[in-house]
Structure 1
Amino acid sequence: MPDGAPGGWRRIASSPAPILAAILASAIPILSIAHPPVLDYPNHLARIWLLSGKVNEPPLSAMYAADWSQASTNIAVDFVASSLARIMPIGALNLLLQLAMFLGPPVAAILLNRALCRTWHIWQAATLFLAWSTTAIAGFLNFQIGLAAALICAALLLPTGVAPARRMFALHLASAALLLLIHPFALLFYAALGSGLALGDRPAMPRSVRDLALPGRKVAVLALACIAPLAALFLFAPTPPGVHANGTSAILWSSPSKMIDPLRIGKALVSPILTYRAMTDILLFLPLAICLGWAVASRRVRFHGGLLIAGIALAALACIAPEEVGDASWIQRRLPPMAFLTFAAAIMPVQRQRVRADIIIAAVITATILLRIAWVERVWTDRQGDFAQLGEAAKRIPTGAAVIVVRLDWTGAAQFPLGRLIAGSPGAPIETGRHAIAPFAVQRGFFIPTHFTVPGQQPLSVRPAWRSRSVYVTSIPYASHLGTRNLKEPYVRNWRADFDYLLVINADMGELPARVISHVTPLTGQGFARLYRIRK
């Protein structure tokens, strides 16, 4: 290494330029691909579009209504985004929301790490590998933005760690109230981050009760501030979250054998790195894991002790958490990204005299992130044909029509197109295109029964005349369910009488049942989406 090279390298490595370049590169798939194959996001975008004013325009005004009183949490994103949609094109808002959903959490983790380290470093760029996590591919818009908000709140409050208890309580309370309005799990994440920061960078084994006094006081103040808005929510909100339509709350646990299944636990813990094909994702992540392991072993990096403990606690909780709590599902997939982001925020580089190894690590991180971006770009590009077919089908649907959306059972197919399944979903892989029709329905002005309208969570409701033809939340029924009694989607029972058109997704994965074909007339589609007119 020539004289002066170490100093020059350190100036580059400690500048924000490499991090900014990595962030801009990570935005390329979002900015270049019109329709990313993600599960719930199109449904969220459609609801925001409706709330921005579309809900007041006929014929949608006869089908849906904005009811902000029925939502008590998960409403901050809807409120801000629907307000922005009134002053900016929906296409621009769509890009803004996608950037927040994918890049928000890792960028916020970088900012928290920057506040802790007081410098920029190449390991911060590695955090962007988490931009495409299972929950991001699942399109959990509010959850993802909530993670970012929790990290930002933790970073902003970091300098106030030595403030008086009353001031800290007020600051924590304000943050907790805001985060609860975004997503309940954002509040949980903030509590975990705050507890880790309260423990400090190098928490020592307490030798007496006095040693626990200061961190214990900080954690107690944080806990009280986080519990207060949560208690107020359940005491005073007219429709608190987690309450089903029948008025009962439910916690769904895995069976004992499933709870201790190492494959289930392993899949849950690695879900933050999984996108569309697990083996590809793991192979891409392997160089980062090897570099990090070597850097820790050679003492080139260490971890913030308190955040390390918080991350381990979140990972452990993910292993024993229930599958569902009330209306909240995918619990075992929501905790691991919190743990990974906490670990990423906890990385603290240790400066060494020799920089050759650091340059090699930087090269590996750069190559890995670029390969990850290229992989996502390729998958998203492959799936644009599906959205084109869906758009063609939507053009054939007249304004004011009632459309029932079903999917074909793909489980018996020998091969499934890349990008149509979420690799890290609980249980069997889940199709990404289930809710892709939702924005088209708002744009064209026709009814679908699958807009998210969960009381307590979404400020959108279906008007009484259409209520029997919809559900609060759905996974989209199979075509084989049409005409049967189905507790989750009861509207399938009278599908011929209540709906005008049948839209089939994953239509290239099989054929409609013969008893269904006899009652419909094909209109469009040879691939992913097929549209049929229902004969009365």
Structure 2
Amino acid sequence: MLRYFGRAAAAATLLLGALPLLLTRPAPLQDWPNHIARIHILVDLLHGSPFWGHYYRLTGFFVPNAALDLGITGLRLAGLPLPLAAQCFLVATYALFVASFLALARAYDASNPAKPCFAVLLFYGNALFWGLVNYVLGLGLLLGLLALWLRAGPRTRLAVAAAGAALLLLAHLVVAVLWIIVLGCHDLHRLRRARLAHCLSWLIALLVVASLLSAMPHGGGLGIGYAGGRFGIAGHKLWLFAKVLLGGSLLQDLTSLAGLLVCIIAVFAGRPSLAPAPALAAAILVLTVLLAPERIGDGSQLDSRLAIAPLLLLAAAVRIRPHPVARIAIPAAVLARTLVLAWAWHASGQEFAQYRGQTASLPSGSLMLMAYGTRLSTLSWQHIWSPPITSIATQLVLHDLFVPTIFAEPGQQPVALDARYTPLKQPWNLSDPVHFRASARALAALCASGAFPHIYLTVLYPGDVAGMAGAALLRPRHDFLLLDACRLPNPQPP
């Protein structure tokens, strides 16, 4: 009886796992509103918009990481409103991720009633909370392709490796590289009992990715940066694994850790075993995280997003016999975490809705710039994530306000920002009187140029900015301020 109850609980957890995605539009993920705004611009450019054509140009969909733009644009052109199209894409990403995870568990002969719960728990991780939806979609696709590859014959495996490399590159470049690494580990293990010609899937995938990349446009630089911080590079790398499921309110993070802890205890209590190939692949993926930089060129969060990959592979491949108590404890812990997450997202969604309400009267054609009122290095984890509002102003693009912080890199997205407006992308520093005056002087010059009919500022983490803004203050709120950039106090130094 307990066994059947556990299966029912796991199925309920799987179905309710989509609940956070259904409660609010847009989902309160750090970069998600930014991506949605770009789709609005993209669709209007496809329709020949003169307004957006002044600021952006189409570069085409033949770029890495184009899956999101292709998917949501397709749904939008099919007639769905943009917020609904974006929500459908998120739900489809969840469905693909979970289905692929379960397929991979079956391919490794590691299925059990706990696996759906593992999939739901790991879907809602730090990578998703940052809004890296292309990357999460790519991970789901990688899991499904690996399941197909494992069940294929020698010749078919080469075809899956090649086609998978092309598909994954369109989903996300980083996942395409992970595909090569994972296939290489499995091929190396197969080499003990198979001919070399049957162990070249990784090489086929590498050649496909390299060929396609060489034909694609390139944008940004190739500079490499490693994050250090207070505890150095080693501390930063350890933190990557510690925060793999974190990114929200204190309650949300606590339930995430609790859910992970329950699953880990259940795994170790269930007499775990792991096949050599996924064990090798997971070890190499951990090493990849440790060696990877934080930033390459314009792309950031590289090592941070990689941290979930070895955990995903281990969770799918590990074979366990869950204790009868674990069959109840695992879905209960994951379901509790999912419900807390749904509540937190709903609350954050209200914050996004309030911003839309407070900016509804701003005239179309205006310029909205971003600023911060507190030094970013002093912000706490909870301050950044409760609520996750770093891209809150990009919602205004849907009302045809120009927000130059929209992601529009020609090497990563189908649209590119006109180089004349690149200097407007960076947030303005209003964190203290000295920086406030410097920013005000620069903004006064921009206002005097007459390039825009109205110029506004959304100030995140406002600090003491309200007291310095004077008549420029339009909307005072705890989490953000709206300022008229052309009415800032006398910018001359004292």
Residues 1:212 and 2:177 aligned together: no
Q: CA deviation at 1:478?
A: 3.1
CA distance, structure 2, for counterparts of residue 31 and residue 84 of structure 1: 17
Residues 1:441 and 2:441 aligned together: no
Q: Tell me which residue corresponds to 2:465.
A: 511
Residues 1:392 and 2:357 aligned together: yes
Q: CA deviation at 1:401?
A: 0.9
Q: CA deviation at 1:271?
A: 2.8
Q: Tell me which residue corresponds to 1:250.
A: 223
Q: Which of 316, 327, 331 is the matching residue for 1:366? A: 331
Contact 1:413 1:509 (8 Å CA) reproduced: no
Residues 1:322 and 2:293 aligned together: yes
CA distance, structure 2, for counterparts of residue 58 and residue 323 of structure 1: 38
Contact 2:456 2:484 (8 Å CA) reproduced: yes
Secondary structure of the corresponding residue to residue 449 of structure 1: coil
CA distance, structure 2, for counterparts of residue 77 and residue 258 of structure 1: 36
Q: Which of 233, 237, 246 is the matching residue for 1:265? A: 237
Residues 1:89 and 2:44 aligned together: no
Contact 1:404 1:495 (8 Å CA) reproduced: no
Q: CA deviation at 1:315?
A: 1.4
CA distance, structure 2, for counterparts of residue 403 and residue 254 of structure 1: 30
Supply the AA of the counterpart residue of 1:226.
A
CA distance, structure 2, for counterparts of residue 415 and residue 456 of structure 1: 33
Supply the AA of the counterpart residue of 2:260.
F
Pick closer, same or farther for the CA change 1:31–1:254 going to 2, 3 Å. closer
Q: Which of 352, 369, 373 is the matching residue for 1:404? A: 369
Q: Tell me which residue corresponds to 2:405.
A: 450
Residues 1:224 and 2:203 aligned together: yes
Q: Tell me which residue corresponds to 1:206.
A: none
CA distance, structure 2, for counterparts of residue 91 and residue 468 of structure 1: 27
**1:114-158 superposed Cα distances (whole Å, 9 cap, x missing partner):** 233285522332231112211110001211111111111112222
Q: CA deviation at 1:252?
A: 1.6
Pick closer, same or farther for the CA change 1:525–1:108 going to 2, 3 Å. farther
**1:3-31 superposed Cα distances (whole Å, 9 cap, x missing partner):** xx58xx3x776x7x655422211111211
Pick closer, same or farther for the CA change 1:212–1:257 going to 2, 3 Å. farther
Pick closer, same or farther for the CA change 1:524–1:398 going to 2, 3 Å. same
Contact 1:112 1:345 (8 Å CA) reproduced: yes
CA distance, structure 2, for counterparts of residue 260 and residue 252 of structure 1: 11
**1:169-204 superposed Cα distances (whole Å, 9 cap, x missing partner):** 33311111121122111212222333454466xx8x
Q: Tell me which residue corresponds to 1:459.
A: 414
Contact 1:196 1:308 (8 Å CA) reproduced: no
Secondary structure of the corresponding residue to residue 530 of structure 1: strand
Residues 1:293 and 2:258 aligned together: no
**1:382-412 superposed Cα distances (whole Å, 9 cap, x missing partner):** 3234213311232121011112121221669
Q: Which of 39, 55, 58 is the matching residue for 1:66? A: 58
Residues 1:170 and 2:159 aligned together: yes
Contact 1:503 1:529 (8 Å CA) reproduced: no
Q: Which of 332, 336, 359 is the matching residue for 2:307? A: 336
After the TM superposition, which residues 191-202 of structure 1 pair with which residues of structure 2 at under 5 Å, given as runs?
191-198=180-187
Pick closer, same or farther for the CA change 1:414–1:447 going to 2, 3 Å. closer
Q: Tell me which residue corresponds to 1:275.
A: 247
CA distance, structure 2, for counterparts of residue 455 and residue 371 of structure 1: 42
Q: Please state which structure has a larger fraction of its residues in helix.
A: 2
Pick closer, same or farther for the CA change 1:283–1:159 going to 2, 3 Å. closer
CA distance, structure 2, for counterparts of residue 107 and residue 28 of structure 1: 17
TM (norm. structure 2) is 0.85
Residues 1:179 and 2:134 aligned together: no
Q: Which of 22, 27, 45 is the matching residue for 1:31? A: 22
Q: Tell me which residue corresponds to 2:126.
A: 134
Q: CA deviation at 1:372?
A: 0.7
After the TM superposition, which residues 349-360 of structure 1 pair with which residues of structure 2 at under 5 Å, given as runs?
349-350=320-321, 358-360=323-325
Name which of structure 1's ranges 305-314 and 497-506 shifts more when overlaid on structure 2.
497-506
Q: CA deviation at 1:292?
A: 1.4
Pick closer, same or farther for the CA change 1:124–1:503 going to 2, 3 Å. same
After the TM superposition, which residues 486-505 of structure 1 pair with which residues of structure 2 at under 5 Å, given as runs?
494-497=445-448, 500-505=454-459
Secondary structure of the corresponding residue to residue 472 of structure 2: strand
CA distance, structure 1, for counterparts of residue 184 and residue 98 of structure 2: 20
Q: Which of 479, 504, 526 is the matching residue for 2:430? A: 479
Secondary structure of the corresponding residue to residue 117 of structure 1: coil
CA distance, structure 1, for counterparts of residue 436 and residue 407 of structure 2: 21
**1:35-63 superposed Cα distances (whole Å, 9 cap, x missing partner):** 43211111111112222236633533433
Contact 1:259 1:320 (8 Å CA) reproduced: no
CA distance, structure 2, for counterparts of residue 345 and residue 37 of structure 1: 28
Q: CA deviation at 1:521?
A: 2.5
Secondary structure of the corresponding residue to residue 59 of structure 1: helix
Contact 2:39 2:69 (8 Å CA) reproduced: yes
CA distance, structure 1, for counterparts of residue 9 and residue 184 of structure 2: 31
CA distance, structure 2, for counterparts of residue 113 and residue 31 of structure 1: 27
Q: CA deviation at 1:378?
A: 2.7
Q: Tell me which residue corresponds to 1:353.
A: none
CA distance, structure 2, for counterparts of residue 114 and residue 492 of structure 1: 59
Contact 1:39 1:137 (8 Å CA) reproduced: yes
**1:290-319 superposed Cα distances (whole Å, 9 cap, x missing partner):** 121221xxx2x3223211221122112212
Secondary structure of the corresponding residue to residue 482 of structure 2: strand
Q: Tell me which residue corresponds to 1:76.
A: 67
Name the count of aligned residue pairs: 476
Q: Which of 284, 306, 326 is the matching residue for 2:277? A: 306
Q: Any gaps of 5 or more consecutive residues in structure 1? A: 204-210, 351-356, 424-430, 486-490
Q: Tell me which residue corresponds to 2:483.
A: 532
Q: CA deviation at 1:422?
A: 4.2
Residues 1:110 and 2:102 aligned together: yes
Secondary structure of the corresponding residue to residue 421 of structure 1: helix
CA distance, structure 2, for counterparts of residue 506 and residue 170 of structure 1: 49
Contact 1:143 1:185 (8 Å CA) reproduced: yes
CA distance, structure 2, for counterparts of residue 90 and residue 319 of structure 1: 39
Name which of structure 1's ranges 397-406 and 496-505 shifts more when overlaid on structure 2.
496-505
CA distance, structure 1, for counterparts of residue 458 and residue 99 of structure 2: 38
Contact 1:269 1:315 (8 Å CA) reproduced: no
**1:60-110 superposed Cα distances (whole Å, 9 cap, x missing partner):** 3433332217x6211233123212211122232121222245564344222
Secondary structure of the corresponding residue to residue 36 of structure 1: coil
Supply the AA of the counterpart residue of 2:337.
R
**1:431-481 superposed Cα distances (whole Å, 9 cap, x missing partner):** 72111221x2222111011011112101112346x525544xx5x443345
Q: What do you get for the CA RMSD once the two structures are aligned? A: 3.3
Pick closer, same or farther for the CA change 1:134–1:126 going to 2, 3 Å. same
